[in-house]
Structure 1
Amino acid sequence: MMGIVTSTSYLAVFSAGTLVGITSTLTLLKFLPRIRKKGYKQWEKGQEEKFEFEPISANDEYRLILAVRNDLKMQKGKIAAQCGHASVAAYAKVLHERPDLLPLWYRQGGTKIAVKIDSEAELFKLVEEAKKLDVLTSVVRDAGQTQVAPGTRTVIAVGPAPKSILDKITGNLKLL
């Protein structure tokens, strides 16, 4: 007799738990779309892929310059990966040190321009020139798992900053 009472208790607890679970799930599914919309009213479908371009003047457009060392003879895919690392590093640095620049850069399209430099010495020269003009820089050092030695400086990100200032630092460099 005791086995029947015990098994009926388990059955009652299991049934109550199942009923609560189903009710909670249905309630959550019913109200979840409303909860999501409250926090994201400003976003429309596809807006996260769209950049709003609002140039003030051509010289005041904010840009990020990615200067790639040409002497390393990296393949295209390697260059693309290193430029990606530099862009992310620059974003993180500006977010931490100069967050006021982010909306200016982003509103104008988040422009990134890749140029060539011929040596590590030229990379260091860009760092010094940028410091003089109070422009942020981020230097990428490779892990050395593929084409270059570990610790090799491959790319420098300069900016984001207005084109008029960046031209003083990188205006003489050729596009990649």
Structure 2
Amino acid sequence: MLTLLLVRPGATEFDQQGRIQGTLDLPLCDNGRRQTEEALPGIAAHKPTVVYTAPCQAAREAGEMIAEATGAKQKTIDKLCNLNHGLWQGMLVEEVRTKQPKVYRQWQDQPHTVCPPGGETLLQVKARVADSLRKVLKKHKEGTIALVAPEPLASVIRHVLHQDEVTGLWKGSERCGVWETIEVPDEVGATVA
């Protein structure tokens, strides 16, 4: 059985400000580096052999820190770019909530039914994630690997692996610098959708 460590990188300035980051490429802020450093002992205890990262700067920086602490190889998966929030990127979550309350509620309750203006749908992101995960899971049947992805992408990855509901996609700042262990049975690799 494969153990996948799903790691959210530490915070960026946008995370701390409550802004929608999406595909905007921002580095870890000082607090984000500290959050990632605090997570390292727990991640290192699992001894991942490979650290896969989303292509954004924050994920790559966190991945480098993990690879250095564990001696694991680091690889970037370009298709694991974050959800493109289109015109919402850079806005405060609170701005969307007050300016477009119906859309905001719909995004919170039924995110698969909303496409941000100029962005992409959750179904499009899910398809990209599933394709990337199938390739990773084909290479790794056992052992431990780490996958570093920011929110809301990390929630989509979790959803694809668990095949459960996706909710709370704008709670990213609450999840910076945290990680979770996901046991991936062999049969899940074959059914990732």
TM range (shorter): under 0.3
Which of structures 1 and 2 has the larger relative contact order (alpha carbons within 8 angstroms, sep 6+)?
2
Q: Normalized against structure 2, the TM-score is what? A: 0.25
Q: Normalized against structure 1, the TM-score is what? A: 0.27
